[in-house]
Each structure stands twice: as C-alpha cells, then as structure tokens.
C-alpha cells in the first residue's frame, strides 16, 4: 500500500495532516484528514462561574472570538433566565454582524480569493493576497484593507478590543452606545453594504465570466450531496445571531426545525481514535461513516448549507443576490462545494445590510442595556451561526451558577466529516487511473477544504500566503518515490513548487 502524507499543513490551528493511502493499482483506497490539536475547554469550564464564560470560551479561537463570546453570553442569559433589553440585543447583533462581514471578507480575499482571482493554475508564487492585489489593483486592495479595519473598529468600539472583546454578559452588554458612536457606526455600515456589493461584482466578473471556473465549480470532484443546517428566523430567513435550527435533507425538504436547547435530540458526535475533533451527525438518520447521500447522517453547516437551509435573506439586496445565486446554480439545494464561496459573499452582503439597519435604529442609543438576574434556571444553551457553522454552547450549573457540565459544538466541527470526505474525493479525482501526480494536485487538494473556511486555520484568514505542503509518495517497500514540495522564498509569502524525483 502506498502512502501520501501531506504534513505539516501549517494553515491549520496547531498542526494538521492529510494521509492518503493508495492501493496496488495506484487508486485512492482511503484518505484521512487529522486534527491533532486538543485543549480541553469543556473540562476546565467546570468550576468556573457561568457569567465568565463569554470571556473564557473566546480563547478557543482568536480569529472568531466574537462567535464564542456571543454563544456563551446567550447560554448564560438562559442559565439565569434573563432576556437582555432590546438595545442590548441590537448592540450584540450589530457587533456580531460587523464581525461576520470582516471574517467572511478575510476568507474570500486572503484565503480563497487567490484561487479564483489569480487562478488555480497560476504560478503558485502569485497565488496569494499580493497576487490578488496585483490583479485587482492597489485601489481595490486598499479598499479590502479598509473594510477589514472598519469591521475591527466596530468590534473594538462596542467590545473594548478587537481580539477577545468583553462586552456581552448575562442580561445584556457592559456599555451603551452614545450618539457619537452611532454616527460612526452608520458611516461604517454604509461602507460594509457597498463592500458587499463590490465583492459580488468581483465574483461575477472574475469567476462567473470564466467558463473554466464554472466547469470546475460544477464538477463531480467537488460535489457532495449532504443534508444542510442553519439558523433561521420565524420566516425561515437566515439569521446569524438568533433563531431556530433548520435542517433540510439532500433533496431540500425540511427534516428538522428545532429550538437550540433541543440540539441533543438532533445531533450526536462520533468519536474516532485518529483525530482530536469529533464527527457530528444527525441522530434521526445515524452514523453511516464518511458517506454522503440521503442515508447518511452527515450534514453541512457552511454558507452553502445555510443558504440551503434558509428560504431567503432578511435584507433586500442580499435577497436579490440569493435569488441570482440559486438561479445560476440550478435551484436548491446546492451541493457544489466550491459554490460555498459565492454563498459566503451573499452572506457578506447580508451581514453589512443587517449591521446598517441596526446602526440606524432610533433606539440603539437607549442607555438601558442591562437586566440584573434575580434567579437561576441552572441550565442554558446558546447558539449563533458562526462564520464556519452552527455554534452551540451548553452549560449546566449548580444553584450558584458555577458550571458542573459544559458541552461545545463548534462551527467547523459540524463540517468535519464533510471536510474529510471532500479531501478524499478530490484526491480520488486527481490521483490514480495511471495519471501522473503533478504539482497542480497540491492546490486542488487545498481547494477541496478551503471552501469550508475551516477554523483550524483561523489565523490564516487574515494573512497572505499559500498553504505549505509536502507530499511524499512511497512505493510499497516504503522507498520514497516522488516528493513534491512548495518552498518559501526568504521574502515571505512568495512560494514556488519544486518537484524532486528520488
């Protein structure tokens, strides 16, 4: 049995590894994507006061701390049985919308954009954010940087700091919005909407206008027929901050719609000895292994999954963009993994529009932003849509609000099984059948999971550069046959491929 090891994959949080096994004919027998990172938050949340969870669990991720901050605050609201005042809910959702806008933009422009804007077949040295700026020009490049800075400014303005903000606590937020702050938030909100429209235009011109890209997006190599999950409002429109979880099946029919606190009736997590991350699946179907299709419990909670699970967008321009997307992709449900990028841009526009709506709300500056709890329920679930999937925090406490049990199902974890499958399928389509292993393999294997924007790679969202890969192919006696490497030039993000035969 031949083995191809892609190790280290340095754009994962910590360390990552892909191992592909080839059978005697050189076809892919199996492929494993391993997440060798473990920090054990669930255990050490025990003994901590629940009101501190928004500031503790955000240390899970320094790129999406706002998602954990909000899910934890919502779960803690429920533990104390308090409903924050309207202004506090608006402030929370406003900050969250700005965060989603910034997070989606960093993924598209820095991480995924190079594949489309510069090109999947381009010289790898150019396939980076610098290459993107080279293509779109410095003016547009500055616009991207300005967008990121403005979304960071919103989070810092409301939450004290950009990384690990401190605003949300059970019963509300720590700080009200002043009239002066509101003026600035409105200015930024207008920019975020413009940026969403600009990004969709760029997608239309660069990707949709290119038949080769359309073919790749629709190709079998990047297709998985899975169920879809996402948070929706009362009218089944997508919502990031609040709502019910809706699941539609492979054919697009609703198979579940539940309040977040019922999540244990719907989702279970398979434990595998080969990875520190678990593999969630839909309980009503069960675990059938790393398989797609109607009979498998594997689902996706990505932008693609969310747009399948929702029946529309709650803001007008995003709704137009959503309709255009569905029409072009042949209607719901969409299963083409690479269309996730397009879905993400529809969400980017929605997040901007929603942020602006909230910034314009006449009662945003209401100073009443706290409710002081006067009792305790002792259990609470908080769910938000993190950029990378449905994020659930569940706490059980004693009568003082000290945590006795915690359970966290994190955005990317939802998609772990699908990511494993996508890597295997891309590998199967590229390797085998007597085809030579080329350096193009590297980028196409990367593209298979890059669409998911996995949070293992969180810090790379904001940084230039290609994933460093080393692929070694051994013969069945364990002798190194081919080694493919991408090297770093000493100047930084410029990389090149090199093929060595030994």
Partner 1 sequence: MEKLKLAVYWASSCGGCDIALVELGEHLLELAQLADIVFWPCATDGKYSDVEAMEDGSIDLTLFNGAIRTDHDRHLAELLRAKSRLLVAFGSCATEGCIPSLSNIRGAAYALQRASIDNLTSDNPDGIVPCAEYVVPEGKLSLPALESRVHTLQQIVPVDYSIPGCPPHHDQVWRAISQIIAGELPARGATIGADPRTVCDQCPRTRTGRIHVSRFLRVHEGEPAPDTCLLEQGYLCAGPATRAGCGALCIGANMPCRGCYGPPEGVADQGAALLGAVTAGLEAKSDGEIRAALESIADPVGTFYRFSLAASILHTLGSDGEGPNQSCVASQEDRP
Region 369-428 residues binding partner 1, contact defined as CB under 8 A: 370, 372-373, 394, 400-402, 405, 407, 409
How far is it, in rounded angstroms, from Cα 369 to Cα 299? 37
139: helix, strand or coil: helix
DSSP summary character for residue 336: B
Segment near partner 1 (CB under 8 A); pick from 44-52, 131-139, 325-333, 426-434: 44-52
Site string for partner 1, 145-164 (x = CB under 8 A): ----x--x------xxxxxx
Q: Write the Ramachandran bin of 133: left for phi over 0, alpha for psi from -120 to 50, otherwise beta.
A: alpha
How far is it, in rounded angstroms, from Cα 65 to Cα 161? 11
DSSP string, 55-120: HHGGGG-SSSHHHHHHHHHHHHHHHHT----HHHHHHHHHHHHHHHHHHHHHIIIIIIHIIIII-T
Give the pair of three-digit tokens for residue 119: 């090109």
Site string for partner 1, 1-40 (x = CB under 8 A): x-x----x-xx-xxx---x-x-------xx-x-x-xxxxx
How far is it, in rounded angstroms, from Cα 243 to Cα 399? 28
For 346, other C-beta atoms within 10 Å of its C-beta total: 29
- Residue 258 or 276 having the CB closest to partner 1: 276
Q: Smallest distance from the beta carbon of 277 to partner 1, in angstroms?
A: 9
User: Are 128 and 119 spatial neighbours (Cβ–Cβ below 8 Å)?
Assistant: no
- End-to-end CA gap in the chain: 19
- Residue 61 or 349 having the CB closest to partner 1: 61
User: Are 254 and 232 spatial neighbours (Cβ–Cβ below 8 Å)?
Assistant: no
Q: Smallest distance from the beta carbon of 35 to partner 1, in angstroms?
A: 9
The residues in 266-285 that bind partner 1, with binding defined as CB under 8 A, are 267-276, 278, 280-281
- Residue 142 or 360 having the CB closest to partner 1: 142
- For position 142 contacting partner 1 by CB under 8 A, the verdict is no
- Residue 326 or 423 having the CB closest to partner 1: 423
The residues in 249-268 that bind partner 1, with binding defined as CB under 8 A, are 263-264, 267-268
Q: Smallest distance from the beta carbon of 294 to partner 1, in angstroms?
A: 20
What residues does 450 pair with on adjacent strands?
Answer: none
How far is it, in rounded angstroms, from Cα 163 to Cα 16? 24
> Could you write out the three-class secondary structure of 249-313?
CCCCCEEEEECHHHHHHHEEEECCCCCCCCEEEECCCCCCCCCCCCCCCCEECCHHHHHHHCCEC
Site string for partner 1, 315-354 (x = CB under 8 A): ----------------------------------------
Q: Smallest distance from the beta carbon of 23 to partner 1, in angstroms?
A: 8
Q: Smallest distance from the beta carbon of 15 to partner 1, in angstroms?
A: 6
The residues in 451-470 that bind partner 1, with binding defined as CB under 8 A, are 457-460, 462-470
Q: Smallest distance from the beta carbon of 143 to partner 1, in angstroms?
A: 15
User: Are 313 and 295 spatial neighbours (Cβ–Cβ below 8 Å)?
Assistant: no
- Residue 88 or 318 having the CB closest to partner 1: 88
Phi, psi at residue 28, to the nearest 5°? -75, 120
Number of residues lying near partner 1 (CB under 8 A): 103
Q: Smallest distance from the beta carbon of 262 to partner 1, in angstroms?
A: 12
How far is it, in rounded angstroms, from Cα 328 to Cα 348? 19
The residues in 169-198 that bind partner 1, with binding defined as CB under 8 A, are 169-171, 174-175
- Residue 232 or 495 having the CB closest to partner 1: 495
For 171, other C-beta atoms within 10 Å of its C-beta total: 21
How far is it, in rounded angstroms, from Cα 67 to Cα 203? 26
The residues in 73-112 that bind partner 1, with binding defined as CB under 8 A, are 76, 80
Q: Smallest distance from the beta carbon of 292 to partner 1, in angstroms?
A: 19
The position carrying tokens 């089944």 is 236
Segment near partner 1 (CB under 8 A); pick from 136-144, 182-190, 207-215, 492-500: 492-500
The residues in 49-68 that bind partner 1, with binding defined as CB under 8 A, are 49, 51-52, 55-56, 59-63, 65
- Residue 263 or 325 having the CB closest to partner 1: 263
């Amino acid at each position: 049995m031949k083995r191809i090891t892609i190790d280290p994959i340095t754009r994962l949080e910590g360390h990552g590894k892909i191992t592909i096994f080839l059978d005697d004919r050189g076809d892919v027998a199996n492929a494993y994507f391993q997440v060798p990172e473990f920090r054990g938050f669930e255990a050490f949340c025990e003994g901590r006061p629940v009101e501190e969870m928004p500031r503790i669990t955000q240390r899970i991720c320094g790129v999406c701390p706002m998602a954990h901050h909000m899910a934890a605050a919502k779960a803690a609201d429920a533990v104390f049985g308090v409903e924050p005042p309207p202004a506090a809910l608006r402030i929370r959702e406003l900050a969250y919308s700005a965060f989603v806008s910034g997070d989606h933009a960093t993924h598209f422009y820095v991480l995924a954009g190079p594949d489309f804007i510069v090109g999947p077949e381009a010289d790898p040295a150019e396939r980076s954010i610098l290459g993107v700026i080279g293509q779109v020009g410095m003016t547009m490049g500055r616009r991207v940087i300005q967008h990121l800075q403005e979304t960071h400014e919103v989070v810092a303005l409301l939450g004290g700091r950009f990384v690990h903000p401190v605003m949300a606590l059970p019963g509300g937020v720590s700080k009200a919005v002043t009239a002066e702050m509101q003026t600035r938030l409105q200015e930024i909100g207008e920019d975020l909407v413009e940026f969403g429209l600009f990004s969709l235009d760029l997608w239309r011109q660069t990707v949709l206008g290119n038949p080769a890209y359309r073919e790749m997006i629709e190709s079998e190599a990047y297709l998985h027929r899975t169920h879809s999950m996402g948070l929706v409002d009362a009218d089944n429109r997508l919502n990031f901050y609040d709502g019910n979880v809706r699941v539609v099946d492979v054919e697009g029919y609703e198979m579940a719609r539940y309040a977040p606190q019922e999540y244990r009736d719907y989702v279970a997590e398979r434990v595998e000895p080969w990875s520190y991350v678990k593999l969630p699946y839909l309980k009503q179907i069960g675990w059938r292994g790393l398989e797609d299709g109607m009979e498998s419990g594997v689902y996706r909670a990505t932008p693609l999954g969310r747009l399948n699970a929702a029946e529309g967008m709650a803001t007008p321009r995003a709704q137009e963009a959503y309709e255009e997307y569905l029409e072009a992709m042949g209607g719901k449900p969409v299963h083409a993994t690479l269309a996730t990028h397009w879905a993400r841009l529809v969400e980017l526009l929605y997040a901007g529009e929603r942020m602006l709506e909230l910034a314009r709300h006449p009662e945003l500056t209401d100073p009443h932003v706290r409710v002081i709890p006067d009792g305790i329920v002792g259990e609470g679930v908080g769910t938000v849509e993190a950029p990378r999937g449905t994020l659930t925090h569940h706490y059980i406490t004693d009568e003082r609000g000290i945590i006795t049990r915690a359970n966290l199902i994190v955005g990317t974890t939802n998609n772990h099984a699908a990511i494993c499958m996508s890597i295997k399928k891309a590998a199967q389509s590229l390797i085998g059948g007597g085809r030579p292993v080329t350096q193009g393999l590297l980028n196409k294997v990367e593209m298979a999971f890059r669409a998911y924007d996995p949070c293992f790679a969180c810090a790379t969202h904001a940084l230039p550069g290609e994933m460093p890969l080393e692929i070694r192919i051994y013969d069945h006696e364990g002798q190194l046959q081919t080694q493919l490497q991408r090297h770093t030039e000493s100047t930084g993000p410029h990389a090149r491929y090199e093929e060595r035969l030994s």
